[in-house]
Amino acid sequence: NAGVMQNPRHLVRRRGQEARLRCSPMKGHSHVYWYRQLPEEGLKFMVYLQKENIIDESGMPKERFSAEFPKEGPSILRIQQVVRGDSAAYFCASSLGTGVFGTEAFFGQGTRLTVV
Amino acid sequence: SQQGEEDPQALSIQEGENATMNCSYKTSINNLQWYRQNSGRGLVHLILIRSNEREKHSGRLRVTLDTSKKSSSLLITASRAADTASYFCATDARSGGGADGLTFGKGTHLIIQP
């Protein structure tokens, strides 16, 4: 059972271009989370999705950022018109469910976005 | 300040010694999780402790949780060079299926000197 797969591992974009980050959750997991880790900082929650639904996007910037988790295929985090401040590591995690006491979240290796 | 703050920020010890890292948080939680991140790699889940648990063990790891003090500690016994990594605590404050996600601290960078 493969773990959470993210691609690409490294992505370089020029200012103004679009960045598309992909995340395939663990088999059987229908809950996907995206986190951003800025240099020297901890991870910050961005968005929580279930299949075809955005459940919570309270951590996502209002402009230029969007996320989807279609019925078929990976979850996509899309950043339009990237700026230097978007340079960070973006981690995707998946879980089996939430539940009152929560369940373990399994993380991918991350995508390191560099905006030049 | 943020939920889930680790202390110390950096820790350097000799191989074989025990390493203790602490985490404090501010709001009520359902569970607290510890993760390890090796340099340039993704996060690895180490252990989850629920709010109604006080202590949990996994191999050389021991985690305690004190909800009255809103704090947790991670103890790594008999440290090895391979334990060198950043360690993050993450709090899960979701209830009834709510979706705030995990909140991570900035991490403790642990260096094990051979």
**Number of neighbouring beta carbons within 10 Å of residue B108:** 23
Residue B81 gets which letter from DSSP?
A: G
CB-CB under 8 Å, A40 with B45:
no
| Interval A97-114 mean pLDDT | 72
Instruction: Report the distance separating Cα A78 and Cα A89, nearest Å.
Output: 14
Helix (H, G, I), strand (E, B) or coil at B108: strand
**How confident is the model at residue A52, as a pLDDT?**
87
Residue A93 has pLDDT above 70, yes or no: yes
CA-based nearest residue to A74, from A37, A102, A111, A104 = A111
**How confident is the model at residue B2, as a pLDDT?**
39
Closest residue to B106, CB basis, from A41, A48, A98? A41
What pLDDT tens digit does each residue of chain B (114 aa) get?
Answer: 335 678 888 899 999 999 999 999 988 888 888 988 877 666 788 888 989 999 999 999 999 999 999 999 999 999 999 999 989 898 877 654 333 467 778 789 999 998
CB-CB under 8 Å, A91 with B88:
no
Residue A1 has pLDDT above 60, yes or no: no
Looking at chain A, which residue has its C-alpha nearest residue B6? A42
**How confident is the model at residue A67, as a pLDDT?**
97
A41 has which bridge partners?
A: none
| Interval A78-106 mean pLDDT | 81
pLDDT tens per residue, range A49-91: 988 899 888 889 999 999 999 988 999 999 999 999 999 999 9
pLDDT tens per residue, range A16-36: 999 999 999 988 888 898 999
Longest dimension (CA), chain A: 43
Measured over the CA atoms of residue B35, residue B73, residue A42 and residue B40, the dihedral's sign is negative
**How confident is the model at residue A95, as a pLDDT?**
81
Residue B49 gets which letter from DSSP?
A: E
Backbone angles phi, psi at B44, to 5 degrees: -120, 125
Residue A40 has pLDDT above 70, yes or no: no
CB-CB under 8 Å, B88 with A98:
no
The HSE-up count of residue A95 (CA atoms within 13 Å, CB side) is 18
Average pLDDT of chain A is 88
Selected residue of A94, A100, A111 to mutate for chain B interface (largest B Cβ count, 10 A): A100
Distance (Å) from the alpha carbon of B95 to chain A's nearest alpha carbon: 5
Give CA separation, B111 vs B13, B37, B86, in Å: 6, 12, 9
**How confident is the model at residue B16, as a pLDDT?**
96
**How confident is the model at residue B93, as a pLDDT?**
72
